[in-house]
């Protein structure tokens, strides 16, 4: 299939694009900057300019659009005005894709769209929607509009809700990368209580799952996650074990955030049974890869 991937050089997008190319699809990647991606054709375009979105569609003539581009600047994106610009760009891209005859549209959503107060695993079918940041509200609003457009125009539409990710190229201040870097540098790792339960997925696996969703026939929301409930404390200890037992984890050195949901975990029934995706590698393997990636960066 001809697939246009936006954000295809990003943290998740690069793995989704690579996975699609490896499966034999013709992959076009939209990138703001010149880039090379093995097996993919690069289209340099800024999607915040709607005329460039139209050009990208005209050049690639895709059957499927996998739209992953969004501004997720670490520490800022939850409340940033950029969410409005990306909502606008997303609506404009989807509208242009429909005009260009695109058959299927798949976008990235977030676990933060769910009502997270229950403590149960988030189900696409049963859990209420109750986004609580400008980021999540914007994603949810875009999803509502695309869903209605798709339903009335006969476009296939799926919405992959991402949970917590880790892996190569992660921002160094995010949870897993900061634990890894501090442990490798033999610095004590200052942490909160670590009792929060989260669903962590390796970004390569998440990218592969999105690629599978993109070329599947599954419509609607699909959680892109591991389905494994892990305390942050357990995750940190696992990282330390895989890293060779180096360094020190200081739980309780930082306060827990107020109003933080105790449990954010995905029900992955749809991903497993309908999309048919199951990660091939274990959590330990993926952590090991990630640690090696950081090790190589630190030694370089």
Mark the segment that binds its own copies (CB under 8 A) among 65-73, 137-145, 179-187, 246-254. 137-145
Among 48, 59, 141, 229, binds its own copies (CB under 8 A): 141
Among 87, 202, 223, 226, binds its own copies (CB under 8 A): 87
Phi first, then psi, for residue 158 (nearest 5°) are: -130, 155
Residue 105 to residue 219: CA distance in whole angstroms: 9
Residue 198 to residue 207: CA distance in whole angstroms: 19
Q: Give every CB contact of residue 61 below 8 A, 6+ residues apart in sequence.
A: 2, 100
CB nearer its own copies, residue 148 or residue 256: 148
Give the tokens for residue 114. 């769910």
Q: Is 100 in the site for its own copies (CB under 8 A)?
A: no
Residue 293 to residue 41: CA distance in whole angstroms: 26
Among 75, 152, 154, 300, binds its own copies (CB under 8 A): 152
CB 137, min distance to its own copies, A = 4
CB 2, min distance to its own copies, A = 24
Nearest to 7 by CA among 55, 53, 76: 53
Q: Is 144 in the site for its own copies (CB under 8 A)?
A: yes
**What are the angstrom distances between the C-alpha of 291 and each of 105, 197, 243, 281?**
34, 22, 7, 15
Mark the segment that binds its own copies (CB under 8 A) among 87-95, 176-184, 232-240, 292-300. 87-95
CB nearer its own copies, residue 153 or residue 217: 153
Q: Is 142 in the site for its own copies (CB under 8 A)?
A: yes
**What are the angstrom distances between the C-alpha of 47 and each of 39, 160, 181, 209?**
22, 20, 33, 24
Q: Is 148 in the site for its own copies (CB under 8 A)?
A: yes
Bridge partners for 43 per DSSP? 30
Mark the segment that binds its own copies (CB under 8 A) among 8-16, 56-64, 92-100, 190-198. 92-100
Segment 230-259, which members bind its own copies (CB under 8 A)?
A: none
Length of the chain: 300
Q: Three-state DSSP class for 139?
A: helix
- Check if the beta carbon of residue 238 is closer than 8 Å to that of residue 283: yes
Residue 24 to residue 153: CA distance in whole angstroms: 28
Taking CB under 8 A as the rule, which mask of x and - marks residues 104-133 in contact with its own copies? ---------------------------x-x
Buried b (16+ CB within 10 A) or exposed e, 81-98: ebbeebbebbbbbbbbbb
Q: Give every CB contact of residue 192 below 8 A, 6+ residues apart in sequence.
A: 232, 251, 252, 253, 254, 255, 256, 257
Give the tokens for residue 4. 């246009």
Q: Is 84 in the site for its own copies (CB under 8 A)?
A: yes
Q: Is 92 in the site for its own copies (CB under 8 A)?
A: yes
CB 140, min distance to its own copies, A = 7
CB 128, min distance to its own copies, A = 11
CB 130, min distance to its own copies, A = 11
Alpha helices in 23-81 (DSSP H): 50-60
Mark the segment that binds its own copies (CB under 8 A) among 52-60, 119-127, 146-154, 285-293. 146-154
Q: Is 219 in the site for its own copies (CB under 8 A)?
A: no
Interface residues with its own copies (CB under 8 A) are: 79, 81, 84-85, 87-88, 91-92, 94-95, 98, 131, 133-134, 137-138, 140-142, 144-145, 147-149, 152
């Amino acid at each position: 299939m001809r697939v246009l991937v936006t954000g295809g050089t990003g943290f998740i997008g690069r793995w989704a694009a690579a996975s699609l190319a490896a499966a034999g699809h013709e992959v076009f990647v939209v990138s703001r900057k010149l880039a090379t991606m093995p097996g993919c054709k690069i289209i340099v375009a800024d999607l915040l300019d709607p005329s460039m979105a139209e050009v990208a569609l005209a050049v690639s003539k895709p059957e499927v659009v996998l739209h992953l581009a969004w501004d997720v600047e670490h520490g800022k994106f939850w409340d940033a005005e950029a969410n409005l610009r990306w909502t606008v760009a997303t609506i404009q891209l989807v509208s242009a894709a429909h005009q260009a005859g695109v058959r299927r549209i798949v976008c990235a959503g977030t676990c933060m769209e769910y009502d997270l107060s229950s403590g149960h695993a988030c189900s696409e079918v049963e859990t209420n929607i109750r986004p609580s940041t400008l980021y999540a509200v914007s994603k949810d609003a875009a999803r509502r509009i695309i869903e209605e457009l798709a339903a009335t125009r006969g476009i296939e539409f799926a919405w992959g809700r991402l949970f917590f990710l880790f892996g190569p190229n992660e921002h160094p201040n995010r949870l897993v990368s900061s634990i890894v870097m501090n442990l490798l540098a033999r610095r004590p790792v200052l942490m909160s209580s670590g009792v929060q339960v989260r669903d962590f997925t390796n970004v390569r696996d998440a990218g592969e799952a999105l690629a599978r969703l993109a070329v599947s026939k599954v419509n609607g929301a699909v959680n892109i996650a591991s389905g494994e409930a892990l305390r942050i404390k357990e995750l940190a200890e696992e990282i330390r074990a895989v890293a060779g037992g180096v360094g020190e984890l200081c739980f309780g050195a930082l306060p827990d955030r107020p109003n933080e949901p105790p449990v954010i975990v995905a029900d992955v029934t749809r991903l497993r049974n309908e999309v048919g995706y199951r990660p091939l590698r274990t959590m330990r393997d993926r952590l090991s890869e990630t640690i090696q990636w950081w090790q190589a960066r630190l030694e370089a």
